[in-house]
Amino acid sequence: MNRRYRKTIIAGNWKMNKTATEGKVLLDEIKASVGKAKWCEIVACVPAVDIPMAVKALKDSRIAVGAQNLHYEPSGAYTGEISASMLKDLGVKYVIIGHSERRQYFGETDVTVNKKVHAALEAGLHPIVCVGESLEQREMGITNDLISVQVKSAICGVPADKIRRIVFAYEPIWAIGTGKTATSEQANEVCEHIRTIIRKQFGARTARAVTIQYGGSMNAKNAHDLLAQPDVDGGLIGGASLKSADFVTIVNAANQE
Ligand code: PEP
């Protein structure tokens, strides 16, 4: 982390968990325990149907509401889909784009990720763009090449002045929901690589200001070491975000430097 130059962001990704009733209980617990946590931005990326509840429950708190997906078209005949402006209108601030589960199960590609990034920025949302390699790709030694393609295609056509509004999340697929975590060094290495891509394209000032999270079985035990890395500016947390005590421990682990 480097809080002098960029925001630290701890975001929970609830995935398809928690009804609105259950989610309200979790958010009330988190809200009561994080208190004034000023050292980082806290985000709850809840299921779409939980958003109105979350916005209401988190009103007057320091916790922002995030969505887990959007459609890139502004409106139209896309049954079952939700647009960026619909999310914005509800009070959503962040939106996860290109999570590996969406790439794997719902046909999300680097092209649709790019369209969604544009749609989110256009509506005034902050995209959390997920990138990451499979175990096979890591073992083949092509992690950085793959990350370069994912990052460059996600931000293709995004003007320089909007890059800082994007949050990147390095999420090795082999670490998501598996209990296997990247070592702090592996996490930092790829986060640093992402920053280098931004620096080459947009210069040092922009690269220095961009938040790059790590995600992949981050939990109450390993968060401190991962967040101590210079280029890891926070976490995107799945499983551990569903338990208030664990999530709050991770938020508190971001209070270092
Ligand atoms: C995620 O869903 O983005 C994630 C990192 O999940 P987990 O923390 O459960 O590995």
Does any ligand 1 atom lie closer than 6 A to the CB of residue 68?
A: no
Over the stretch 211-242, which tens digit does the pLDDT of each residue have? 999 999 999 999 999 999 999 999 999 999 99
- Residue 168, CA distances (Å) to 40, 46, 129, 164, 214 in order: 16, 18, 5, 10, 9
Q: Let me know if 171 is a catalytic residue.
A: yes
Q: Per-residue pLDDT for 252 more than 70?
A: yes
Kind plus residue range of the DSSP H or E element containing 209: helix 204-209
Tokens of 48: 């779409």
Mutating to test ligand 1, I would choose from 100, 218, 221, 246 the residue with most ligand atoms within 8 A of its C-beta, which is 218
For the chain, give the percent of residues with pLDDT over 90. 93
**Best probe residue, ligand 1, of 10, 14, 15 (max atoms within 8 Å of C-beta):** 15
**131-177 pLDDT, tens per residue?**
999 999 999 999 999 999 999 999 999 999 999 999 999 999 999 98
Domains of the chain: 9-253 (3.20.20.70)
Average pLDDT estimate for 53-72: 97
Does pTM top 0.85 for this prediction?
A: yes
**pLDDT confidence tier of residue 25, bands split at 50, 70 and 90:** very high
Residue 257, pLDDT score: 67
Atom of ligand 1 nearest to the CA of 175: 10
Alpha carbon separation from 89 to 83, 93, 177 (Å, rounded): 10, 10, 31
